Amino acid sequence: MAIRPIDVRRKEFKSVFRGYDANQVDDFLDAVADEFERAYTENQRMREEISGLRERLQQFEELEESIRAALVHAEQAANDLRESARREAENLRESARREAELTIREAKTRSHQMLADSSGRVERVQESYEALQEAKRKFANDFRHLLKTYMEMLDSLEISTAREIESSLRERLDTESVAVAREAARSEQEAPAEGAGVAAEETQKIEPEQLPASPEAPEAEEPEVEPSSSAGGEDEARAAAEQAAEEAPERGPLAEETSEQEFFERQPAPEERREDNRIFRASRFLRRRG
């Protein structure tokens, strides 16, 4: 049975013979009641405080659980993020590797194709150059032979036969000029820029220095020879033809095998230019006499 302070204060005892002093008992009961009330109040306060502390402890425990769950979730999220970053890095690295390999293969393929095309163009330019050189040599030999024959006819005063040879020579010169010009144009279309430049340069060297102009193209820079100087021009043409015929064996054909570097850097020799100039002067003299 719980005893309250008011129960102590209201407690009454019966009086008996030779019992305790009632005043002392009352005073003691009052003191006990006061002390009991103080203890009871303190106990109530402590109970309330304990209850509050228990509530706070419960809150802290709940907060701890929440924090622990948040930490677990954060750790899991961090692990997932690291795994995702690792997979993405591997994918990027693999993609970059494949792209680099593809780029390298394409670059190698293009370089091989360009090298093959360049080699083919160089070969075509070389063949065109050799064909032009062969045409040049053939034309020079034919022209030299016909010119020598013409000069021999002049020496024997067979004028009619000489005029026929002159007409054949002029027709042959026109045909050779057209063939060489067409060959040079075809070479310029097929060859690269360097090869085309060299072929055009060779063609220009052959045309103005060796080939006589066609009948349709008048020569404005060459003055007409006076009748009084025909004998001197004839002697000059004869001397040029004889000298060209004498130097022909010494000159010889050009080297058949020419390296690519020599092909792009070669310049006509001074002897070739002088001989071409002599042949060209002789051809102009023949046209003036016609």
Q: pLDDT per residue over 214-240, tens digit each?
A: 333 333 333 343 333 344 445 555 555
Residue 248 has pLDDT above 80, yes or no: no
Per-residue model confidence (pLDDT) at position 221:
38
Per-residue model confidence (pLDDT) at position 78:
92
| Whole-number Å distance between alpha carbons of 19 and 111 | 132
Residue 73 has pLDDT above 50, yes or no: yes
Residue 67 has pLDDT above 90, yes or no: yes
* Range with top average pLDDT, 57-61, 205-209, 250-254: 57-61
Per-residue model confidence (pLDDT) at position 89:
93
| Whole-number Å distance between alpha carbons of 58 and 62 | 6
Q: What are the contacts of 46-52 at 24+ separation with CB within 8 A?
A: none
| Whole-number Å distance between alpha carbons of 134 and 140 | 10
Higher-pLDDT residue of 137, 210: 137
Per-residue model confidence (pLDDT) at position 178:
63
- Across the chain, mean pLDDT equals 71
The backbone torsions φ and ψ at residue 15, rounded to the nearest 5 degrees and listed phi first, read -85, 135
Over residues 256-265, the pLDDT tens digits come to 444 444 544 5
| Whole-number Å distance between alpha carbons of 139 and 159 | 24
Say how many C-beta atoms besides its own lie within 10 A of residue 228's C-beta. 7
| Whole-number Å distance between alpha carbons of 146 and 163 | 12
Residue 176 CA to its chain's centroid (Å): 44
Q: What pTM does this model have?
A: 0.30
Residue 96 has pLDDT above 90, yes or no: yes
Question: Within the chain, what is the greatest distance between any pair of CA atoms?
Answer: 203
Domain ranges of the chain: 138-182
For the chain, what is the radius of gyration of the CA atoms? Answer: 63
Per-residue model confidence (pLDDT) at position 222:
39
Say how many C-beta atoms besides its own lie within 10 A of residue 217's C-beta. 9
Residues 6+ apart with CB under 8 A from 24: none
CA atoms within 13 A on the CB side of 87: 5
Contact 150, 158 (CB under 8 A): no
Percent of the chain with pLDDT over 90: 21
Say how many C-beta atoms besides its own lie within 10 A of residue 165's C-beta. 19
Read off the pLDDT band of 98 (50, 70, 90): very high
Q: Taking residues 73-77, report their average pLDDT.
A: 92
Sign of CA dihedral 99, 105, 111, 113: negative
Read off the pLDDT band of 70 (50, 70, 90): very high
